[in-house]
């Protein structure tokens, strides 16, 4: 929570399938300086009650510092707010799903805004108003703060949340959703919770950082024994994500049988990478014979999802003749392998003609957009 003298007057919340993102403005109650600060925080949508509790706290303080109506006292839903009332903007699917709940718990009116429109308003704000927010990524120059040198519009926004949306943006508040894929952040989150012992998304990203995808992915080199230069494929290019798993697993099993049981099984020790695996409900004696680790699986799936999105993003940019692509959504979470994969895919397929951009507050485009739609 902000410190006890901060006044919070304006809150926006973007409630998605996985995460509820909150943005609020606070300023020092007795400060003579103009301005204040924007604060960012997110909660799992499953724990929406905790998120609303957090907002209720902010509201209490707001009321106390403003000498407004009794904190938390519910007023008739729909009645216009008094001047000291907290302004709550909401967007995302949860703005509909939890509408009644939010109004009841907070006792304030809630203004709903369109999700896609909020995304691009948020992005436009970050591009035009916030220095050191937008950057390009490459292995040699990881976080290079830069904006397009030519016109901002048109551009492609790829929002990677639970699912993925592709938006063609031709001007301020002028956009069209041109595509989507259900293979997104929720897919990585869900599948890695089945396949590894990781319990949180950040644990999954940590695993991915330590993994070796060549243990599970079938590479061009695995098929050709070398590269396939004629069509521009390096021996390390992934030919089939997870394509080596079946063979490796069966090999390990038959070796285990030959040596008369589990004791002689050749397997990589998972514990080195992932101490959580031992506690995993899915960890059985069978799993322990796997010649690859949870980390290897995580890296492979992160690559698979990111490459797929990068490829679709490139194709969309070609179809719609867009040379700037912005990647947003909490899936990215500043993770270097994710950004490198997306960036590399765009650069590779476009032969350098199209530029991928990332944002420091990538998960908060929608929440910031909703925040800006009604300034107090
Ligand atoms: P949505 O609006 O659909 O909830 P987000 O842009 O918030 O989408 O992105 C959600 C995705 O972000 C998740 O599916 C997951 O891949 C990733 N993610 C990032 N941080 C977390 C986290 N702390 N908990 C769960 N998922 C997270």
Ranges of each domain in the chain: 6-116+366-373
* pLDDT, the chain, mean: 87
122 lines ligand 1 (CB under 6 A): no
Ligand 1: distance of its center to the CA of 331 in Å? 5
Structure token digits, residue 171: 């001007």
Give how far the C-alpha of residue 219 lies from the chain's centroid of Cα atoms, to the nearest Å.
27
Say if ligand 1 is within 6 A of residue 366 CB. Answer: no
Task: Return the number of other C-beta atoms located less than 10 Å from residue 80's C-beta.
Answer: 8
CA of 183 to the centre of ligand 1 (A): 13
Give the C-alpha distances (Å, rounded to integers) separating 286 from 62, 161, 253, 374: 56, 34, 9, 57
- pTM value is 0.88
Cα(185) to centroid(ligand 1), Å: 6
Return d(Cα 200, Cα 205) in angstroms, integer: 9
Residue 18 in contact with ligand 1 by CB distance below 6 A: yes
Atom of ligand 1 nearest to the CA of 18: 4
Cα–Cα dist 66/70, whole Å: 11
Q: DSSP class of residue 214?
A: G
Q: Report which ligand 1 atom has the smallest distance to the Cα of 186.
A: 14
Q: Which among 122, 114, 91 has a CA at the least distance from the CA of 177?
A: 114
Q: How far is the CA of 30 from the centre of ligand 1 (A)?
A: 37
d(CA 139, ligand 1 centre) in Å: 24
Q: 3-state DSSP call for residue 333?
A: coil
- Residue 328, ligand 1, Cβ within 6 A: no
Query: What is the chain's pLDDT, residue by residue, as a tens digit (376 residues)?
Result: 445 566 777 899 999 999 999 999 888 777 777 788 899 999 999 999 999 999 998 887 767 766 654 444 444 444 444 445 788 999 999 999 999 999 999 999 999 999 999 999 999 999 999 999 999 999 999 999 999 988 999 999 999 999 999 999 999 989 999 999 999 999 999 999 999 999 999 999 999 999 999 999 999 999 999 888 888 888 999 999 999 999 999 999 898 888 875 544 444 444 443 434 444 444 444 455 688 999 999 999 999 999 999 999 999 999 999 999 999 999 999 999 999 999 999 999 999 999 999 999 999 999 999 999 986 5
Class of domain 6-116+366-373: alpha beta
Establish whether residue 360 lines the binding site of ligand 1, counting it when its CB lies within 6 angstroms of any ligand atom.
no
- Render pLDDT for 263-293 as a digit per residue (tens, 0 to 9): 444 444 444 434 344 444 444 444 556 889 9
- Give me the residue label for tokens 């599970």: 216
């Amino acid at each position: 929570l902000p410190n006890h003298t901060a006044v919070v007057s304006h809150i926006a919340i973007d409630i998605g399938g996985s995460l509820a993102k909150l943005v609020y403005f606070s300023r020092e109650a007795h400060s003579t300086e103009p301005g204040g600060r924007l604060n960012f925080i997110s909660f799992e949508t499953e724990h929406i009650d905790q998120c609303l509790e957090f907002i209720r706290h902010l509201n209490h303080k707001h009321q106390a510092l403003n000498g407004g109506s009794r904190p938390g006292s519910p007023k008739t839903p729909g009645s216009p707010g008094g001047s000291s009332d907290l302004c709550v903007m909401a967007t995302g699917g949860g703005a509909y799903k939890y509408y009644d709940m939010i109004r009841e718990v907070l006792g304030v009116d809630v203004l709903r805004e369109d999700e896609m429109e909020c995304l691009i308003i948020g992005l436009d704000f970050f591009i035009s108003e916030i220095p050191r927010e937008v950057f390009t990524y490459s292995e040699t120059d990881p976080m290079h703060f830069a904006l397009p040198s030519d016109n901002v519009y048109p551009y492609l926004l790829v929002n990677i949340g639970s699912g993925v949306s592709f938006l063609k943006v031709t001007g301020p508040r002028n956009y069209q959703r041109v595509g989507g894929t259900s293979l997104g952040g929720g897919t990585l989150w869900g599948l890695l919770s089945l396949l590894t012992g990781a319990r949180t998304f950040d644990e999954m990203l940590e695993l991915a950082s330590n993994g070796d995808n060549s243990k599970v992915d079938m590479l061009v080199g695995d098929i050709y024994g070398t590269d396939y230069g004629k069509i521009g494929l390096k021996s390390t290019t992934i030919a089939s994500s997870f394509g080596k798993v079946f063979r490796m697993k069966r090999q390990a099993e038959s070796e285990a049988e030959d040596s008369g049981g589990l004791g002689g099984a050749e397997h990589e020790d998972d514990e080195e990478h992932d101490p959580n695996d031992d506690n995993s409900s899915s960890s059985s004696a069978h799993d322990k014979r796997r010649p690859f680790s949870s980390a290897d699986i995580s890296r492979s799936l992160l690559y698979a999802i990111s490459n797929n999105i990068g490829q679709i993003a490139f194709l969309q940019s070609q179809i719609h003749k867009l040379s700037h692509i912005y990647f947003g959504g909490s899936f990215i979470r500043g993770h270097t392998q994710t950004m490198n994969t997306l960036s590399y895919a765009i650069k590779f397929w476009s032969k350098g003609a199209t530029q991928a951009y990332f944002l420091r507050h990538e998960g908060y485009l929608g929440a910031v957009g909703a925040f800006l739609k009604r300034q107090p």
